[in-house]
Structure formats: structure tokens, C-alpha cells
Amino acid sequence: MHTALSRLAAGTLTSVSLTEELLTRAERAGDLGAYVTLDADRALAEAAAADRGPARGPLHGLPIAVKDNIHVAGLPNTAACEVLAGFVPDRDAQAITRLRAAGAIVLGKTNMHELALGATTTGGPYGPARNPADPTRFAGGSSGGTATAVAAGLAPAGLGTDTGGSVRVPAALTGIAGLRPTRGRYPAGGVTPLSWTRDTIGPMAPTVADLVLLDSVLAADHDPAEAPDPREILLAVPEHHFTEPLHPRTAEVWEHSLDVLRTAGVRLVPVQLPEVETAEERAGFPITLYEAARQLPQYLGKATGHTDPAKLLDRITDRHVQATMADVVFPRAVTERAYEAALRVRDRVLVDGYRRIFRITGAHAVLFPTTPLPAGRIDTDTERVRLDGALRPSFPTYIRNTGPGSMAALPGLTVPVWSAGPGLPVGVALDAPWNTDRQLLGIGLLVEKLLEAGA
């Protein structure tokens, strides 16, 4: 993205020429399933206005992709669900307002896992978001379309949303960078809801340096984020759950990454986070589904004009999403008592556990493989995937490592690793203490630089 921005700023590339090029690429790469809607006419008109006028901000004239659960005025907001195909918001989400004020242009809305209830982006009405590294494999989810668009060069950057890993998982699987900010750092209005305690918008881009700029706009935070001296950084490396088991490709990249960082002088200390193996089952899913049941049906009813949104169930395409909505969300199957118990698990196990790790070790962040395995095949791995010789459910397997930090509301970052030889993309992730997002991005810059140099 900095290349496009620097060329725009230098006058060697116009916003119109960039927008035209991206639209052409997107049309030619339609089989990748990145976009649900392209807003070509408006994007070109705004690009022409950007070329004529003075710079509006740090993103002046830059086209971006937006996940199709983030409201953009005048464009359908389907959340990859046929039920919402006719819903056209009349105002931008607050995050989009900030990006536009900085000069950004919305190129289009991207594919996603239906209603954001999954980690593959394969079963919805708009087909799968395919992985540019291997189109027979999925891009991950739920922000799979934005990941595909950025990784395939169909957008310089984009927005996703992250509840349990929905930005970081597809970013890692497609070889780009993705940030989940501290919950509440970005404005939250104008997004198809799931969990009020876990949902957040997050930027996705080719590099961490791109995320630094996007974060400064989205958070209105212009504090410097610079790569520190590696000898000043201490990273906690969790054992057991986060690294056992790993796919051979992921294990190879992970060990290579540790060697590179250690050789550069980064201090690595092993840690254990207790009871994390059952945290998603005991806390993550109950919290998310309890909160989804109290806002998603209301949102669907208001967006579609149906007084009984439960009657829309047969129009949900993904059978697992349909089952979740029918069996858990609409009947409010997670009770108040179960929800309160899940909140206690979150606070006593995860929040206290991470707080203890940061306090005792002095670590600046926790480092781990973003996902336990690379992207799976669309035809065989969307429901169950083989890991360490066993078939496992795909959804909890892919969010295994990103879920704990998101439940604790930590800021999380995934950095692509291209330095361990050919193969499917793999990411390494960093979770940092609350409200240390700019420091986290600085560490991400360092990790990205070291891993690139260690190729």
C-alpha cells in the first residue's frame, strides 16, 4: 500500500489509473470470489475528484475493499446472506467515515463467511473466497473476501471484522498482515452484529507498515509506531495448546521464525496459559452466541422489514450457519446463567492469565503461530480438517490460537512469513497488553523486518 500511496503522492500514479487497474483486475479475477459488489462508477468519480483536488489526508485517492458486514451508504450490506441482499444502508459505518475523511475511496464490498459465523468463507450464496496462493484452497474467514482481494492485488488494503480471529486467520492463510485492535479502539457503529464484547473492525494489508497507517486513521492515534531494537524486546512463547499439534509446514515456519528472532537478539521466554484448551468451549462460544441471540435477529428483522425474522431461516445458505441460527440463536439457547458463568471463565482464566504472564515475565507480547495449519482444500476441508493424523472440526481448529486473546480483548497482529522456503502461506501472531496497539505495531514492524531479512 505504501508503494501505491507514495506513487500517488509523487504524482507518478493517479487515483483514476490505480482505480481503473484494480477494477480491471477484479473483473478478470472474478473466479476468486473476492468481491460481492464492485462500486465502479462511484469509485472512479471519487478518484477523478481526488486527482483534481488538494490532498484530504494520508489515504488520499486510495481505493480500499470493505467486508460486506460493514455498512457503506448506497451499497448492499449482505453479510454474505441472501436474506440481506436487499438491505442498502443509507449511511456509512463510523469507521468508513474516518477512512473517507482521510481520503480513501471504497472500491467495493467483499465476500465473507455467511453472517460471520465461520472460519472458511466457503458455504455462502456467493461461493467460496479462494486463496490466491492456491485457488483450490479457501482463504479463511470470516473476512475471507478482503484477504483474497488484498493478497491477489485486487485492493491495496481493506477492512474485515474480528470476533475470534476473523481478520487474523484469513490474513495468515493468504500471506498478508492483519490487525485486531484493542476492543473499543475503533468506532463500532454500522456493523452487522455478533458479540458486543468480542466484535471489532480490523484492517488488512500486505505489510505491517500499511497497518500502521490504517490504524492511525481508524483510531485517530498518530503516536509513532517504529521498529524497536530487537535486544529491547521480550516475547512470551506459549507452550502446549498454541503449538501442539502443528501441521508440518506450520511447524517448519514456526521454528524458522523463532530461530531468526532469537539470532537477532529478541528474548524469548516460554510460558503456559492454564486451561486455555477448553476456553473457547467454556467461554468463547457461549458468550458469542448469547450476545448474537440478543442482537442479530433484531438486526435481521429491521434490515429486512420482517416482524418474525425466524421465518428467514430457510434462506440461509450455509447449513452449519442455518443450524446455529435455528438451534442456538433464535431460541436463545444459551441461558443467562450459562452466559454469566462464561464471563467468569473469561475473566478468571483468560484475562487474569494474560495479565499474570505480562506482569511476571515483563513480556511486550505473546508470540505464537496464527493458525495450527495452512489453508485447507475447499472440496474436502471446509467442515473437518486433518491435523496430526486426526480429523477435527475446521472452525474451532482454525481459531484455536486466535480465540483466547480475542476473548480477553487483547490487541492481536498477524505477520506473514515468506522466508522459510516455498509452500502455503503461514503467519506468526502477536497478542499484546490492552491498549498498547501502537507498541504492538512497532514490534510487528520489527518481526516483519527480521523475518524478511532471514529469508
Residues serving a catalytic function are 67, 142, 166
Helix (H, G, I), strand (E, B) or coil at 382: coil
- Shortest CA distance to 140 belongs to which of 153, 128, 126, 152? 128
Cβ neighbours of residue 45 closer than 8 Å, sequence gap 6 or more: none
Query: CB of 445 within 8 A of CB of 205?
Result: no
Cell digits for 146?
Answer: 478482503
- Shortest CA distance to 197 belongs to which of 101, 289, 335, 321? 289
Beta strands in 32-129, from DSSP E residues, in sequence order: 35-38, 63-67, 105-110
Nearest 5°: the CA angle 59, 217, 215 is 110
Give the chain's count of helices (H) and strands (E): 17, 15
The shares of helix, strand and coil residues in the chain, as percent rounded to the nearest 5, are 45, 15, 40
Strand partners, 159: 66, 203
Q: Half-sphere exposure of 108 toward its Cβ, with a 13 Å CA cutoff?
A: 28
Burial of 75 (C-beta count, 10 Å sphere; 0-12/13-18/19+):
buried
- Shortest CA distance to 94 belongs to which of 198, 224, 220, 187? 187
Cell digits for 321?
Answer: 450457519
